[in-house]
Structure 1
């Protein structure tokens, strides 16, 4: 059956996403490159973490990823919800639906005890955070042109017209450091932008009802609510475009090899990508100056700042 006119080859359907708790992509390059060697077990990953990470980092719910260099393998892992298979689903989908966006190849994922492990390509490159100070003006201009193009490409993705929502790619609640908190209700999924904004508004009013005797949180005035545009478009968003998450070719740093760390990604209002990227930038820095040249600052930036500050980010 031919797709309807509203459905394109860049549409992501939930039914197409691998969703089992443990998935191995036998057709991935890992197995052809390593003669069918199996992916490391949890015990092997933890043993590698003891060697590669400090004792303090190893004990975190989400230690730094570990690398099996001879296998060309990186393993991102964590427990208690700090890592989700939705990140692996995102990388799997983008490689197939949007190949012009550079993401690490995903080889599989597994769940064991309370751990989730994501097995992926070990990207050979350097973060633009490390390379930026020694880049020429032409290289910096080329880099930002490439990043702007990638962001534009992400926005060409579409959802199933019969199942549109705001949340992670698998329709699970958002995991965004600016508002996610185990002490708050789950952040979605939401069926409308207004629903998401109303949730943010309610979250900043919870706990301050002691200053408004006799009023419920939803009855407390919110002076910032009108600063969030309910008519914003919903687009696919990386949501953490910090320079430490952008890998470039060390010899040609205007070439972006991969965007990494898709753990906060999902379907967000269209202003979210810029706002999150700017919020982690040093205002007035050269990096921020290039950002303003190549990415359009949305009108919602002031509202975003007020809400994230109120939420403790």
Structure 2
């Protein structure tokens, strides 16, 4: 029987502290998660602003890392996703979630501080055998993730785990674009994609509305694709591996773009974010996920969105 996730059974998006988590068993039942002002202060001593926002604050003494910021870069949906995955797939390697809160417009997600390095950091030191082993482990994880099902009492949808709009960076980098869902079907999602890339082209098609402008890519998207749970950014920078050998995957991180997508999305994003012609794209991605037939259409839409 397949594991399931229900959007109806997620913890409150407003505030959550998981007292049964290892944070409290490790630090004592009277331990407290750092206040938002303490998180900001710690972050200020550790990192600076980057193009993607503030880096998470690390509390080594507590075995804790806190990801914080504003939507769409940081949302409670990511914390709810980690909570759901740990329960639906207990052996799936993701950071343990300790809680979340809001303060001053920012979302704070309290998570396990992992011991390891990113695959990106260690890649050049790995031999072919270890690289292939990591990809074999990834294939098992991707297969496990794709086996997840929505519960029968949860009407089928495409969206974040909590039924919020999809958070893929392709959609969320432009704040003027309407929310990506949630959608009731793959066809509805594809129609939304199609309408978005035609909106604004009216100047080139006098007298026509966006929905009347031809879309040369639409037929390349398969409306009969299954809906599967998707990480959305299987880049080496989001794969934490062990420092020692034999090399093993410690966790997959950065689930902010995750959710229920058409089954081709995971592979298309992995290929699209890889260096064109590089060995990760040409040799290693095919070891953990199959290239879908619609990859060219996906690329066309991603470029049309300006990604």
TM superposition score normalised by structure 2:
0.96
Correspondent of 2:292 among 295, 298, 308:
298
User: Following superposition of structure 1 onto structure 2, how do residues 1-313 of structure 1 map, counting pairs within 5 Å?
Assistant: 8=1, 10-35=3-28, 36-54=30-48, 56-57=49-50, 62-162=53-153, 163-180=155-172, 181-252=174-245, 254-288=247-281, 289-313=283-307
Q: 2-side partners of 1:253 and 1:244: how far apart?
A: 19
* SS of match in other structure, 1:117: strand
Compare 30-39 and 75-84 and name the one that shifted more.
Answer: 75-84
* SS of match in other structure, 1:110: strand
- CA shift, 1:61, in A, is 8.0
Residue correspondences, number: 303
Q: 2-side partners of 1:252 and 1:236: how far apart?
A: 30
Q: For residues 143-201 of structure 1, give each alpha carbon's deviation from its aligned partner in whole angstroms, at most 9, with x where no partner exists.
A: 00000110000011000234110000000001111122210111000000000000000
Report if the CA contact (8 A) 2:13-2:76 is conserved.
Answer: no
Report if the CA contact (8 A) 2:85-2:92 is conserved.
Answer: yes
- Match of 1:5? none
Q: For residues 226-278 of structure 1, give each alpha carbon's deviation from its aligned partner in whole angstroms, at most 9, with x where no partner exists.
A: 00000000000000111000000111263100000000000000000011011
Q: Which consecutive unaligned segments of at least 5 residues does structure 2 have?
A: none
Residue 77 and residue 96 in structure 1: after superposition, are their counterparts in 2 closer, same or farther (change >3 A)?
same
TM superposition score normalised by structure 1:
0.94
Q: 2-side partners of 1:293 and 1:258: how far apart?
A: 18
Compare 28-37 and 186-195 and name the one that shifted more.
Answer: 28-37
- CA shift, 1:80, in A, is 4.5
Q: 2-side partners of 1:111 and 1:85: how far apart?
A: 9
Q: 2-side partners of 1:207 and 1:157: how far apart?
A: 38
- CA shift, 1:20, in A, is 3.8
* SS of match in other structure, 1:26: coil
Q: 2-side partners of 1:106 and 1:49: how far apart?
A: 19
